[in-house]
Amino acid sequence: MLEVAGYLPVMIDFVSRNRVSILFLLILFLLFLMMSLQVRRGGSNPVRQGITLVISPMQHTVHTTISYCGSVWSDYVFLINLKEENKRLKDKLRRQKVRLLRADYLDRSIRHLETLLDFKEKLDYEVVVARVIAADYSNPERTRIMITLDRGREKGLYVNSPVLTSEGIVGKVVSTTFSTAVVEMINHSNSGISARVERDESVVGVVVGRNGSRLVMEYVKNLDDIRENDLVVSAGFDGIYPPGYPIGRVSSVKTGEWLFKEVMIQPAANLSSLERVFVLKKKKEMNRE
């Protein structure tokens, strides 16, 4: 009896500190007992309805939480797969763009070569086709004024050989090695070409460069009839460039203060994006009967 009496305060203290938990477990036990009795007896009673009323919100919450988590996981997996698919499609699109660019480049190269070959057949000179391998931009406007070709003395190129494209005159060779040649372009400040207006051959002058994107036609008299968009061609007086090849078109004309007009020329050849050019060597020998 003394031992039981000693444990009694401890038990009372334990129950006092855990009364909420004990009460909750007791309620659950009673509910479980009632449900068991009801299942064995069948039917419905207020106790079962009360249990259902208590349990249903918990079941709904658990079900909703599980459903939401499942939905979030499904959406996450879907987004991951969508991201991978998007990346794969972008890579495929990038490869297609590269193929299209290559095809476009090849198409433009073929058409350019066809134009060059057609133009070459029409020339009265022996021609060497050369590729531009370097360029000099050492001028304030950062435009090409010198280029280097992949052909030289072994192909018969020499100093003062004229260089042109199917659009117009590019310049002349100023130095050569065995396998390369340096070309001074018509926009170089040292360049000068005897020129005339195609529409009126009496209008003559000298086209010089200014280390920029445009040229100047000097010594055109104020009384001469020269107009914007007139085609200016080589006159052949300088002994370097054959006559009749395009130099450029008149972009502006102003009456000068003294005897000569101020005439600006836009080059006929696209000097900023040359890839292949023609170098003239000498006139073709005509077949004699």
User: Per residue in 44-81, pLDDT tens?
Assistant: 555 555 555 555 665 566 567 666 666 777 777 777 88
Q: How confident is the model at residue 96 (pLDDT cuts 50, 70, 90)?
A: confident
pLDDT of residue 285: 47
Q: How far apart are the first and last CA of the chain?
A: 152
Is the residue at 18 inside a domain? no
Is the residue at 265 inside a domain? yes
Look up residue 13 and give its DSSP letter: H
Is the residue at 59 inside a domain? no
Number of H helices, E strands in the chain: 3, 12
Contact indicator for 205, 264 with CB cutoff of 8 Å: no
Considering its fold, how many domains does the chain have in total?
1
pLDDT of residue 286: 40
Contact indicator for 232, 193 with CB cutoff of 8 Å: no
Is the residue at 122 inside a domain? no
Is the residue at 79 inside a domain? no
pTM higher than 0.95: no
171: Cα separation from own chain's centroid: 31
Looking up residue 214, the CATH number of its domain turns out to be 2.40.10.340
Domain extent, residue 181, equals 128-282
Is the residue at 212 inside a domain? yes
Contact indicator for 259, 222 with CB cutoff of 8 Å: yes
Residues 6+ apart with CB under 8 A from 25: none
C-alpha 183/C-alpha 160 separation (Å) is 9
Is the residue at 70 inside a domain? no
Share of the chain above pLDDT 70, in %: 66
Tokens of 119: 């133009």
**pLDDT per residue over 134-190, tens digit each?**
998 777 677 889 999 999 999 999 999 999 998 999 999 999 999 999 999 999 999
pLDDT of residue 283: 63
Which of the residue ranges 25-34, 138-147, 237-246, 271-280 would you say has the lowest mean pLDDT? Answer: 25-34
Contact indicator for 186, 170 with CB cutoff of 8 Å: yes
Is the residue at 20 inside a domain? no
